[in-house]
Chains A and B, each alone.
Chain A
Amino acid sequence: MALAGALLMVLQVQPVFAANSYEDASRLFKQGNYAGALERIETVIAANPRDARARFLKGLIYTEQNKPVEAIKVFTSLTEDYPELPEPYNNLAVLYASQGQYDKARNSLEMAIRTHPSYAIAHENLGDVYAKMASEAYDKALQLDRSNAAAQTKLAMIKDLFTGSVVPGKGGRDTTESATASATTSAGAEKPTAAKPAAGTGADTDAVLAAVNGWAQAWSSKNADAYLAYYAPDFQVPGGEARANWEATRRDRIIKPKLIQVTVGSPRVSFDATGRAVVKFRQGYKSDALNTSGAKILTLVKNNDRWQIVQERMN
C-alpha cells in the first residue's frame, strides 16, 4: 500500500513531456502501431527508468508483438521492483500459461492474490489455470493424448496498470473498457468503487427477471437458438474468443446432455449509471453428467425493448 502511494507520487512529478510521450505511446498502442509505441515508450523509460506504468505498457507491446520472452522479462522486473502490484504478476501468469507453463502461471497468480486478495481477474485466471492443470493431470492419469486437441488456455491480460486491483467488481474478462479513466483517477485507491445502482423502475426489474428466467428456461429446454438469442450482439465473449466459436461451443454444451436443468436462485437486480441491469443470483446446473451450483452475475442491456446479456460471469 505504501508503495502504491509512493508510485502515485512518482507519476505525479513526471515531467510533462514524458507524460505526453506516454499518452502518445498508449495511443499508438491502441491503434495497433506497436513499433511506434515501443519507440515512444523507450524514451519515457529512458527518462524515468522506474516508471512502472511505462514499463507495463512496454510489456503489453511485446505481448502484442508476440515476443513472450521479452514480455516476460519486462513483467518479471516489474514484479521485482514493485512486488506490491498484482497486475504484472497477472500478466506474467497469462504469458506463462500461453506457453503451457502452468506451474509458473499458478505461482504468479498466487503472488498476485497474496498482494491483493480481492483481485477478481487473478482469481478467475487462477481458476482457469487450476482447471487446465487438473485436465493435464487427468489426461496423464487416463493416458489420454489430447495435446493436439487442447487449445492453450486463454487468460485475461490486464491492459492497464492499477485497474484490476482497485476495481474488483469489474468484469473478469473485460479489461479494455473504462481502463483509461481508472488509470488516471484511482491509482492510489484501495476501496472498491461500488457500482451505484441507479434507480430502475419496478417494471424494468420485472422485465429483466423475465429475461433471465427465459434464458434459463431456453437453456433447460435445450433450445440453443432461443438461448443464444438472449445474448446481445456486443456480448463480451469470455476470453476474447470469436463469437462464432463461442456460439458453437455453447450449442454443443446445450445439445449434448440428455437432460439439463438450470435454476435461478434468489436473484437480485440492480442498475448501474448507464442503465445496464446487473443480476446476481445462484445458478443451479444439473445434467446427467454434472450437478453444480455457483454465484452468477449477468449484465444486461435493453436493445429494442429486449433485455439482452452483454456480460456473463461465474463467481
Chain B
Amino acid sequence: MQGSTRSHQAGSRQTLIQALVAIMAAGASYAWAMNITPAPVSRHVSAPEAMLVRALLDISDSKFSSAFDHIDSLITANPNFRLAQLVKGDLLLSRTRPIKSIGNASGGSAEQVAGLRDEARARLVRSQIAPSPELAPRYLLQLPESQKLALVLDSTKSTLFVFENTGKIPRYVADYYVTIGKNGMEKLREGDKKTPVGVYRVVSRLPKDKLTDFYGSGAYPISYPNEWDLMRGRDGHGIWLHGTPRDTYSRPPRASDGCIVLTNQDLETLAARLQIGSTPIVIADSIDWAKPAEVESIRSELASAIEDWRHDWESRNTDAYLRHYARKFTSNGLNITQWSAQKYQVNSAKSWIRIKVSDMSLLLYPGKEEMAVATFDQDYASSNLSHRMMKRQYWIRENSKWRIVFEGAA
C-alpha cells in the first residue's frame, strides 16, 4: 500500500519536473536566440523574483522540500505574488495526485492560469539574462551629459533595462520584469491593447494619491504618440509606466492595455532616478545588442550628417542645405516643396547665419526602418533674427544617405 502511494507521488513529481524542464528549455533557447553572452556584469534582480526562480530550479532538480521552503518564505513576505501561490499549490497538490503541468487550479479562468504559466516562463527567461560589458543596445548612440539614464525595453524578455550614461558605453544598472499589452507590440490604434515600438521619453509623473489602486505606486506617462507615429497616422494615448494594485505583486507578461507595468517596488526604485520630461525610453520587440565599435560608427556617421546640415544652413547655400531633407519630409504641415520654397525665401533675406548645436541626444529607432532621433539645443542667430530652442529631428537612411524626414520643436 505504501509502496504504491510513494510511486504514485514520485510519478506526479516527475510530471511536474517535466513541465518545468520544458518551460526552462524554452527559456534557454530564447536566451540563445537573443544572443546574449554570459559575462561578469552583476545583475540586480529583486529578491522575490530571485527566490521564485530558485524554487523553480529546485523543482527541476527534484529538491521539493527546498523548493517549498523558498516558496513559503517568499509568500510570507509577498502574499500577493500570485505565481508563487500557484507554484505552492502545485507543490502541495503533487503530493496527492499526479499533475501534468504548472497550474492545476480548478476554478478561475483558463486565461488566468495561462497568464501565470506565461509569467513562470518569462521569469525563467529573465533568469538567464546575462548583461555583457562587451555589448550595449544599439539604440543608445549618444546621450547628453545632463541625461543620467536611458531605459530600453525588450518585449520578448519581458524586461526593462536601465542604463547609466557614462559618456561612453552605457553602463548596465538594473533590469525589471515588466508587463506589456495584451495584444503585444507595435501599437497602431486607440484601444488595440498594444504597446508601441519606438523612441519615447518619460513626460510626466502622476502621483499615487491622484490615481486608483490599479496603478499602484505611481504612473509615468511616456510620449506616445511621437512625431513619427503621428506622421504615420498612428493614434491612441495614455501609454504609461505604472505599478500594480495592492493585491497583485506582478501581472502576467502580456496583460495591460498597452502600458508598461512594473512591480511597485521596482517602479519606486526606478522612479527615484527618472528625469521627468527627458529620460528616454526605447521600446523594442527584441533588443539589438551591438559592440561599442559598431555603435560608434553609426554615431559618428550621424553626427557628421548633422554637422554637415548645420554647416550648410550656416553657409546660406540653400540648395546644399535642402539636400539634407528626405523626399517624404514634413514639418508643421509643410511638405518638402513648400518647405523648400519657404527656406529659399527666408535664407535669401539674411546676410549671415550662425548656428550652435549642443546637448545632443542621438537614439537609433528600433524596428526595420533605419532611422534615428536627434534631439539638441539649437542656438540660432542671424542678421535679422535670433532664436534658441530644443529641436528634434528624425533622420532616415535614403539612398544610402542620412536625411531628415521630420523636424520640429522638441
Q: Which residues of A contact B (CB under 8 A)?
A: 117-118, 120, 123, 126-128, 130-131, 133-144, 146, 168-169, 289, 291-295, 315
In the assembled complex, the Cα of A294 lies from the Cα of B8 at a distance in Å of: 7
Cβ-defined contact, A141 with B92, below 8 A: no
In the complex, residue of chain B having the shortest beta-carbon distance to the beta carbon of A142: B108
B403 at the interface (CB under 8 A from A): no
Q: Which of B40-48, B82-90, B176-184, B273-281 contacts A (4 or more CB under 8 A)?
A: B82-90
Question: A294 — which chain B residues lie within 8 A by C-beta?
Answer: 8, 97
In the assembled complex, the Cα of A133 lies from the Cα of B86 at a distance in Å of: 11
In the complex, residue of chain B having the shortest beta-carbon distance to the beta carbon of A119: B2
Which of these, B2, B75, B100, B108, contacts A138 with CB under 8 Å? Answer: B108
In the assembled complex, the Cα of A315 lies from the Cα of B97 at a distance in Å of: 10
Cβ-defined contact, B113 with A142, below 8 A: yes
B294 at the interface (CB under 8 A from A): no
Other than the given A134-B90, A138-B104, 11 more pairs (CB < 8 A) read: A120-B1, A133-B88, A133-B89, A134-B104, A135-B105, A136-B89, A138-B107, A140-B82, A141-B116, A293-B98, A294-B8
In the assembled complex, the Cα of A130 lies from the Cα of B97 at a distance in Å of: 10
Question: A118 — which chain B residues lie within 8 A by C-beta?
Answer: 1-2
In the assembled complex, the Cα of A142 lies from the Cα of B88 at a distance in Å of: 13
Question: B113 — which chain A residues lie within 8 A by C-beta?
Answer: 142
Cβ-defined contact, B2 with A133, below 8 A: no
B79 at the interface (CB under 8 A from A): yes
Cβ-defined contact, A130 with B96, below 8 A: yes
Question: A295 — which chain B residues lie within 8 A by C-beta?
Answer: 1, 4-5, 8
Q: Shortest Cβ distance from B19 into chain A, in angstroms?
A: 14
Cβ-defined contact, B2 with A137, below 8 A: no
Question: A137 — which chain B residues lie within 8 A by C-beta?
Answer: 75, 85-86, 88-89, 92
Between A and B, 21 residue pairs with Cβ closer than 8 Å are A118-B1, A128-B96, A130-B96, A131-B96, A133-B92, A135-B89, A137-B85, A138-B104, A139-B105, A139-B107, A140-B85, A141-B85, A141-B89, A142-B82, A142-B86, A142-B108, A143-B82, A144-B107, A144-B108, A168-B1, A294-B97
* Residue among A123, A137, A143 with max Cβ neighbours from chain B (10 Å): A137
B73 at the interface (CB under 8 A from A): no
Question: A168 — which chain B residues lie within 8 A by C-beta?
Answer: 1
Cβ-defined contact, B108 with A292, below 8 A: no
In the assembled complex, the Cα of A144 lies from the Cα of B108 at a distance in Å of: 7
In the assembled complex, the Cα of A139 lies from the Cα of B116 at a distance in Å of: 13
In the assembled complex, the Cα of A134 lies from the Cα of B105 at a distance in Å of: 8
Question: B8 — which chain A residues lie within 8 A by C-beta?
Answer: 294-295, 315
Cβ-defined contact, A315 with B79, below 8 A: no
In the assembled complex, the Cα of A134 lies from the Cα of B109 at a distance in Å of: 17
In the assembled complex, the Cα of A294 lies from the Cα of B1 at a distance in Å of: 11
B134 at the interface (CB under 8 A from A): no
In the complex, residue of chain A having the shortest beta-carbon distance to the beta carbon of B95: A130
- Given the known inter-chain contacts A118-B2, A123-B5, please indicate yes or no for A138 contacting B96, CB distance below 8 A: no
Q: Shortest Cβ distance from B165 into chain A, in angstroms?
A: 40
In the complex, residue of chain A having the shortest beta-carbon distance to the beta carbon of B247: A143
B384 at the interface (CB under 8 A from A): no
In the complex, residue of chain A having the shortest beta-carbon distance to the beta carbon of B97: A292
In the assembled complex, the Cα of A126 lies from the Cα of B93 at a distance in Å of: 11
Cβ-defined contact, B116 with A134, below 8 A: no
B112 at the interface (CB under 8 A from A): yes
Cβ-defined contact, A134 with B92, below 8 A: yes
In the assembled complex, the Cα of A45 lies from the Cα of B108 at a distance in Å of: 52
In the assembled complex, the Cα of A118 lies from the Cα of B5 at a distance in Å of: 10
Which of these, A127, A141, A169, A292, contacts B86 with CB under 8 Å? Answer: A141
- Given the known inter-chain contacts A123-B5, A134-B89, please indicate yes or no for A142 contacting B95, CB distance below 8 A: no
Cβ-defined contact, A130 with B92, below 8 A: yes
In the complex, residue of chain A having the shortest beta-carbon distance to the beta carbon of B93: A134
Cβ-defined contact, A138 with B1, below 8 A: no
* Residue among A123, A130, A142, A292 with max Cβ neighbours from chain B (10 Å): A142
B106 at the interface (CB under 8 A from A): yes
In the assembled complex, the Cα of A150 lies from the Cα of B104 at a distance in Å of: 18
Cβ-defined contact, B1 with A315, below 8 A: yes
Which of these, A120, A127, A142, contacts B96 with CB under 8 Å? Answer: A127
Q: Shortest Cβ distance from B96 into chain A, in angstroms?
A: 4
- Given the known inter-chain contacts A139-B107, A143-B247, please indicate yes or no for A127 contacting B82, CB distance below 8 A: no
Question: A141 — which chain B residues lie within 8 A by C-beta?
Answer: 82-83, 85-86, 89, 103, 105, 108, 116
Cβ-defined contact, B112 with A142, below 8 A: yes
In the assembled complex, the Cα of A135 lies from the Cα of B90 at a distance in Å of: 9
Cβ-defined contact, B112 with A134, below 8 A: no
In the assembled complex, the Cα of A291 lies from the Cα of B109 at a distance in Å of: 19
Question: A128 — which chain B residues lie within 8 A by C-beta?
Answer: 96
Q: Shortest Cβ distance from B342 into chain A, in angstroms?
A: 59
Question: B83 — which chain A residues lie within 8 A by C-beta?
Answer: 141
* Residue among B1, B93, B100 with max Cβ neighbours from chain A (10 Å): B1
In the assembled complex, the Cα of A138 lies from the Cα of B108 at a distance in Å of: 9
Cβ-defined contact, A138 with B105, below 8 A: yes
Cβ-defined contact, B107 with A131, below 8 A: no
In the assembled complex, the Cα of A131 lies from the Cα of B104 at a distance in Å of: 11
Q: Shortest Cβ distance from B335 into chain A, in angstroms?
A: 53
* Residue among A126, A133, A140, A146 with max Cβ neighbours from chain B (10 Å): A140
Q: Shortest Cβ distance from A311 into chain B, in angstroms?
A: 14
Question: A289 — which chain B residues lie within 8 A by C-beta?
Answer: 106
In the assembled complex, the Cα of A135 lies from the Cα of B86 at a distance in Å of: 9
